Amino acid sequence: MSERTATIASRVGLHARPAAIFAEAVGALPVEVTIALEGDPADDAMDASSILSLMSLGAANGQVVVLRAEGDGADEALESLVKILETDLDAE
């Protein structure tokens, strides 16, 4: 299983528009991706393609999240998702 951490850059955190953009990107990938707050048990990880899961995660600006995926292309997929989370999507 591949794992990456990312620091939430969007000013409002992973809510509304940033969550929708991220969930859409995850849904387009050939691997399943989970997300959790850093320090939370892996068993508490949520489906990263679900807007509701992302919003209920409550990840605020500056918080670190852990992304996990497995399968062919998992490393590349996670790298692309880290770039999205570490971009201030509210500024675009």
* Identified catalytic residue from 10, 13, 14, 15: 15
Closest CA to 67 of 14, 11, 10: 14
CA 40, CA 66: separation in Å to the nearest integer?
9
* Structural domains in the chain, sorted by start: 2-91 (3.30.1340.10)
Question: Would you say residue 91 has pLDDT above 80?
Answer: no
Exposed/middle/buried for residue 69 (C-beta within 10 Å: 0-12, 13-18, 19+): buried
First to last CA, the chain: 32
The H or E element containing residue 12 is none
Question: Would you say residue 89 has pLDDT above 90?
Answer: no
Q: Tell me what the mean pLDDT of segment 21-28 comes to.
A: 96
pLDDT tens digit sequence for 45-80: 999 999 999 999 999 999 999 999 999 999 999 999
Q: Tell me what the mean pLDDT of segment 83-88 comes to.
A: 96
Question: Would you say residue 30 has pLDDT above 80?
Answer: yes
Can you name the residues that pair with 6 across neighbouring β-strands?
65
Answer yes or no: 51 catalytic.
no
- Calculate the CA 1 to chain-centre distance: 16
pLDDT of 27 reads 96
